[in-house]
Amino acid sequence: MKSQANTNNKRTYTVALVLILISISIVLISLNTGSLQIAPLKVIQTLFGYGDYKSSLVLFEYRMPRILITMLGGIGLGISGAILQGLSRNPLADPGILGLHSGASFGLILFVTYFHSLDHHAAILIPLFTFLGGLLTAFIIILLAYDRIKGLLPIRLILTGIAVSAGFSAVTLFLSLRLDEETYTFASRWLVGNVWGRDWIHVMALFPWILILAPFAWSQSKSLNVLSLGDEVAAGLGISVQGQRLLLLATAVGLSCASVAMVGGIGFIGLVSPHLARRLVGPMYQNNLPVSGLIGMVILVLADTVGRSIFQPNAIPAGVIVAAIGAPYFLYLLIKSK
């Protein structure tokens, strides 16, 4: 038993190292991607502060914030998906299915429909609205799924999530029909997941969430392990089931709402990353939680880079690429494991 755990830990380190190496190379490629061509050597020069004015402007003002946001967003979505799957004991759970995305979309549509006059502060108001939209849905879902006697039941959580999400999507669709074409295009690009936060202010807004919540989630991985055994066993093992569940749910909501606010309604990452992580490092959360985050990061940065580079000049939203790359791979895994 112990040696099993040890090999799993070792494996986690190897996998994490490989993932970090992959993401470093993708980031380097990503830093090289854009309308202005900078030689790879110059990129590295500039990173260390020896670049000319133009290349440092491009790297530090235009490309770096966007890459950091995709990295942080990917981590947030990956970890949040892993938490939600553990909490609900359902491998299909992800922030999208729980209705958090549709809440965020609702927030966005509300903003572009009724608060268009505040357009000049859009850079910071859109994340705020989407974040609040996500929180609102989470609040409604928890309220509806909460049973006075039994507490928060995982299966009710998912079913309520699906129902609430359908409701919010309907309102979003209704409101979006009344938008003019240009705003509609912007909104629909956002809805499929277009990384649009590109300034340092967005990095600053997202960073604290990930910095605090991701390690916190990791520190709670033992209770996630126990919770995934089922309520009775967990209670028997001395866990305050309801308290922990609410706490972890709040963590997942915070992570995904903050990420979605910056990178758009990207689904799938939250679903796929934990699955891949489980296959790579096993079901223990102290191993697969950080790996989920890393996988989420790799997927999103890769998707955003591909979307920006191959299809120039009409960049494709990262969410589309995620689905296009992720879905077939995910299906392949499912078929193989049968």
Contacts to other proteins by CB under 8 A = 18, 22, 25-26, 29, 32-37, 54, 57-58, 61-62, 120-121, 123, 177, 180-182, 185-186, 276, 279-280, 302, 305-306, 309-310, 312-314, 325, 329
CB of 32 to other proteins, least distance (A): 7
Biggest CA–CA distance in the chain, Å, is 66
Residue given tokens 């290349």 in the structure block = 55
Q: Which of 188/244 has CB closer to other proteins?
A: 188
Q: Which of 18/44 has CB closer to other proteins?
A: 18
Query: Residues 13-16: contacts with CB within 8 Å, 24+ apart?
Result: 15/280, 15/281, 15/291, 16/290, 16/291, 16/294
CB of 82 to other proteins, least distance (A): 18
CB of 267 to other proteins, least distance (A): 20
CB of 150 to other proteins, least distance (A): 40
Q: Which of 36/233 has CB closer to other proteins?
A: 36
Q: Which of 181/232 has CB closer to other proteins?
A: 181
Q: Which of 89/279 has CB closer to other proteins?
A: 279
Q: Which of 47/57 has CB closer to other proteins?
A: 57
Answer yes or no: are the C-beta atoms of 155 and 279 closer than 8 Å. no
CB of 24 to other proteins, least distance (A): 12
CB of 45 to other proteins, least distance (A): 18
Please report how the helices 200-219 and 122-145 are oriented relative to each other, as an axis angle in degrees rounded to 10: 30
CB of 279 to other proteins, least distance (A): 7
Q: Which of 176/221 has CB closer to other proteins?
A: 176
CB of 223 to other proteins, least distance (A): 28
Q: Which of 146/330 has CB closer to other proteins?
A: 330
